[in-house]
Amino acid sequence: MKTARKDFIGRDALAASPEPARRLVHLAVTSPEGVDCVGNESIFNSVTGEVVGFTTSGGYGYLAEQSIAFGYVSSAALESGVPLAIE
């Protein structure tokens, strides 16, 4: 979290708090079958096959013109930059 002010109430507590174990992310989904996510699908590391998260909701994004989903993904998987797969 970035703040413009250097001193504020709770600053030390915020600085001492650990990074979240997982983050809510927006996913653009490409599927050769044209299947949309609906939620509760597993999110995998496409290299190792390890489960790194799950979707919470999804559907066709008319403005994006493709399937989209929201999901929680482990912070470590996001930092690694490895492609993800939803099943």
Query: What pTM did the predictor assign?
Result: 0.78
The span from the CA of 25 to the CA of 27, in Å, is 6
Q: Is 29 exposed, middle or buried (0-12, 13-18, 19+ CB in 10 A)?
A: buried
Residue 70 in domain: yes
Domain that holds residue 56: 19-86
Q: Report how many domains make up the chain.
A: 1
pLDDT, one tens digit per residue, over 38-54 is 999 999 999 999 999 99
Q: In the chain, what percentage of residues exceed pLDDT 70?
A: 94
CATH number for 33: 2.40.30.110
pLDDT, one tens digit per residue, over 57-76 is 999 999 999 999 999 999 99
